[in-house]
């Protein structure tokens, strides 16, 4: 796992998104959710100039944090930095409220409404069409519910609880079959 993780991290830092998607992800020692592929495809389109348009790979970081929580009990946000509910709230508010968008842009944020992404100081974060579903796909793929810090309470709190409750009676919001099995051989 550590050699694969080192190669994946190096490719992300170098902006080698296609190399990561094509050459590294298929050899992952764990199942990789399909949403990571969409995130990398976004990066290939939008983040061509690494110096000014770096990807902040939120889905990849969720995957790493879910694995760390599952294996070691570590809380998320150590790497992903931004709570997923707050990111979605920022995106939805900027999409609907022109004044808020202008204030956010004046504060240094950029929005790409064609690609559905927001650029923060850490880089471009791909929101896309399925942000919540992508988050749940990461959880489903690793079989863990990410528990985010929830001060002053000592126990963590899951993200997107309302969405999960709405989906509880119906079909699964994340499709585990869409995951890429890094150990599977290509045909």
Q: Could you read off the pLDDT of 94-125 as tens digits, one per residue? A: 999 999 999 999 999 999 999 999 999 999 99
27: in domain: yes
186: in domain: no
Tally of domains within the chain: 1
- Give whole-number Cα distances, 110 to 32, 70, 97, 107, in Å: 29, 34, 14, 9
pLDDT of 169 reads 73
Dihedral sign, Cα of residue 48, residue 50, residue 56, residue 61: positive
Residue 167 domain boundaries = 2-180
Q: Could you read off the pLDDT of 123-160 as tens digits, one per residue? A: 999 999 999 999 999 999 999 999 999 888 888 999 99
76: in domain: yes
Q: Which residues contact 111 (CB under 8 A, 6 or more apart)?
A: 94, 95, 101, 104, 105, 117, 118, 119
147 CB-contact burial (10 Å; exposed 0-12 / middle 13-18 / buried 19+):
middle
Per cent of the chain over pLDDT 70 is 90
187: in domain: no
């Amino acid at each position: 796992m550590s050699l694969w993780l080192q190669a994946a991290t190096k490719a992300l830092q170098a902006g080698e998104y296609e190399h990561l998607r094509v050459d590294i992800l298929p050899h992952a020692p764990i199942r990789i959710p399909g949403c990571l592929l969409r995130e990398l495809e976004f990066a290939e389109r939008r983040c061509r100039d690494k110096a000014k348009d770096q990807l902040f790979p939120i889905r990849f970081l969720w995957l790493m944090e879910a694995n760390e929580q599952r294996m070691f009990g570590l809380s998320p946000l150590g790497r992903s930095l931004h709570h997923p509910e707050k990111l979605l709230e920022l995106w939805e508010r900027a999409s609907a409220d022109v004044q808020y968008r202008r204030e956010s842009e004046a504060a240094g944020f950029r929005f790409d409404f064609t690609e559905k992404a927001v650029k923060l100081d850490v880089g471009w974060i791909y929101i896309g069409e399925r942000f919540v579903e992508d988050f749940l796909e990461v959880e489903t793929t690793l079989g863990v519910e990410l528990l985010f810090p929830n001060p002053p309470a000592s126990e963590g709190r899951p993200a997107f609880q309302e969405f999960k409750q709405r989906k509880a009676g119906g079909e699964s919001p994340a499709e585990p079959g869409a995951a890429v099995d890094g150990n599977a051989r290509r045909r």
